[in-house]
Amino acid sequence: MNTLIDLNKVINVDEKLDDRESMFRKKMLDRMISTQDLLHQDDFAGEEKEILKSLVDKDVLVLEEGQIVFAYPVSKTPTNHHVELADGREFFSMCAIDALGSTFVFEQDTKISSICPVSGEEIHVTIKNKEIVEYSPENIHVIHVDLAAVENWAANC
């Protein structure tokens, strides 16, 4: 699979965050995919609650009725983009690009099963050592929109 963009220039969610927020986000993502339960903002107190609010303000995560339903790249709401990590944990991602980025977020190999929103065709991608090693169908294409100029990525993905 070829790309028409320099992937090293693609802005990722972590670039919006300071070190504390980044560490908290990774810890929270691990909790989100390790449990079937939704995390609630009331599960956090003190400094963690302040960081949580900052992540909401920066559109890194989305709350619905106090529950964390989206935190890049994890969606607690089922989507067409299913990710399986090498350690056996599974989750839905918010979009296909987030599914591809999951290998970098969780720093492990991934298997992605997705459905094309246009054709309805099943798509499978395997990433090992941060490289796409297997994919189907053979004519797969990835469209990436540069969201650098957009604040609310979820509304534009």
Phi-psi region of 47 (alpha: psi -120 to 50; beta: other; left: phi over 0): alpha
Residue 135 in contact with residue 1, Cβ under 8 Å?
Answer: yes
Largest CA distance in the chain: 50
Condensed to tens digits (0 to 9), the pLDDT of residues 127-152 reads 999 999 999 998 887 766 555 555 54
CATH of domain 76-156: 3.30.450.410
> Which tens digits make up the pLDDT trace of 72-130?
899 999 999 999 999 999 999 998 889 999 999 999 999 999 998 888 999 999 999 99
- The predicted pLDDT at position 65 comes to 94
Confidence band of 7 (pLDDT split at 50, 70, 90): low
Between CA 141 and CA 110 the distance in angstroms is: 18
Q: Is the pLDDT of residue 156 over 50?
A: no
- Residue range 29-50: mean pLDDT, rounded: 91
Spans of all domains in the chain: 13-71, 76-156
Number of other residues whose CB lies within 10 A of the CB of residue 66? 11
DSSP string, 45-88: -HHHHHHHHHHHHTTSEEEETTEEEEETTEESS--SEEEEETTS
- Give residue 117's pLDDT: 84
